[in-house]
Every structure is written in structure tokens, then in C-alpha cells.
Amino acid sequence: MKKTGKEWALRVMILLAGLTVAHLGVTLFLLSDLGSDPFNVFVQGIFRTLERLLHASWLSHGRVHVAVSLLIVAVLLFVDRSYLKIGTALCMLFGGPIIDGFSALLLPLLGGASLPLRCAMLVAGCVILAFGMTVVIRSDAGTGPNDLVALVISEKRGWRFSFVRVAVDAMFVLLGFLLGGVAGAGTLVCMFLVGPVAGFFLPVNGRWIEALVRRARR
């Protein structure tokens, strides 16, 4: 069924809500200071490699992150452009500012926390990230480029998303580490926790989102 303007607006609102929740999780993960998430280990590895080769002052982690995201989008234009929707651009545009906002809010409260609290922040962050990420995916309004890698492979091959997500995260960590990125204990926790938790939340969030959309169509 073709989506109406009203339905698109609702799905975008759901996506933005999920994006906000997901990046609350990312912020808690970052504030735990126990390691970068797998995708950013990969980005860091590419950044450090390019820095060694090019010695360019304009290079930064953030710019490499954007470049890698755009490369994923470019590949998907050839593989299956139906995955690229308005939400993909929104994820790229608003992800950073949302993290900055939550960091400004939470850093005074959680900065310098004890190790047990930082471990709890890490686990909570991964679970919250997985929940928010699956809301974004099931909004059917688009998904962030790094999450699209696992989603496209899972749907194209018919494999369980949770397993594919772990495998893709492991690939990001391995490649990033080989290129000079730094992985910590939190990286490994994120790699093995986010995929299975997301696999649990995908059908749960899919049901309530579609029920909400059906009610809005009436």
C-alpha cells in the first residue's frame, strides 16, 4: 500500500523518537569510557591510516565518519536503493547533535563515575541503543548507514538479524583494529550484546508500530 503524507509524517516522527532513544544509549556507552562502538573503531582505524598516509590537517574522525557513511549510501544506490529513504538522511543529520545534547546534560551527572557504575552505563547503553535502533528500523522511514549494512545483508540472505549484526560488528572491529583503531572491553560487550537484544526487539517494536500506523490510516 502506498504511504500517504500523513503516514509518512507519523513514520518520520517514530523514527526521530527511536533515533533519540538510540543516541541516549550511545551517549551512555560513550560516557562509560570503556571503549568505542564497533563502527567507530572501524572509522578510527581508517582515520589513523589516512592520517599516516596523507598527513592532511583537514582530516578528522568526524569527517571520516561522514565519508564512510556516504560510501555505504553510494554502494546501496547500486545494490538496492529502496533502503535509502528520508530517515537515512535524518539519521546522518541529527545523530551527532542528539549525542552532543545528551552529553551536555549527562556529563555533569555521570562524568567520573565509579567503575561499577560505568559498567552498568555500558550495558544499559547497549540495551537502550538496541531498542531505539529497532524502532528506527521498524519505522520504515529509513535507517542510519551503519545499521543498514547488517539490515540489508540479513534481509537479502534471509539470515537472522541478531547473528548478522554480531558478524558485521565483529568485521568492523577486526578491520578497524588492523588499521590502527582502538578496541576496549566496552567494544566487545557492544559487539556481542547489541545484535541479540536488537533481534529480540525487532518483532516487538514492529508489531506496535504497525498497529499505530493502521489506527492512523482509519
pLDDT of residue 100: 84
Per the structure, the count of domains in the chain is 1
CA distance 148 to 171: 14
CA angle 196, 183, 130 (to 5 degrees): 25
Give residue-wise pLDDT tens across range 162-203.
Answer: 999 999 999 999 999 999 988 889 999 999 999 999 999 999
CA distance 66 to 113: 31
Neighbours of 5 (CB within 10 A): 7
Distance, C-alpha 51 to centroid of its chain: 25
CA distance 176 to 15: 29
| Burial profile 134-145: b = 16 or more Cβ within 10 angstroms, e = fewer | bbbbbbbbbbbb
> Average per-residue pLDDT in the chain?
90
- Count of positions (residues) in the chain: 218
The CA radius of gyration of the chain, in Å to the nearest whole number, is 17
More confidently predicted of 146 and 18: 18
Neighbours of 17 (CB within 10 A): 14
pLDDT of residue 63: 84
Q: What is the DSSP code string of 26-75?
A: HHHHHHHTS---HHHHHHHHHHHHHHHHH--TT--HHHHHHHHHHHHHHH
Give residue-wise pLDDT tens across range 35-92.
Answer: 888 998 998 999 899 988 887 777 777 788 888 999 999 999 888 888 999 999 999 8
CA distance 143 to 86: 9
CA distance 195 to 210: 22
Task: Return the C-alpha cell found at 93.
Answer: 543529520
pLDDT of residue 109: 87
Distance, C-alpha 211 to centroid of its chain: 25
Range of the domain at 58: 5-217
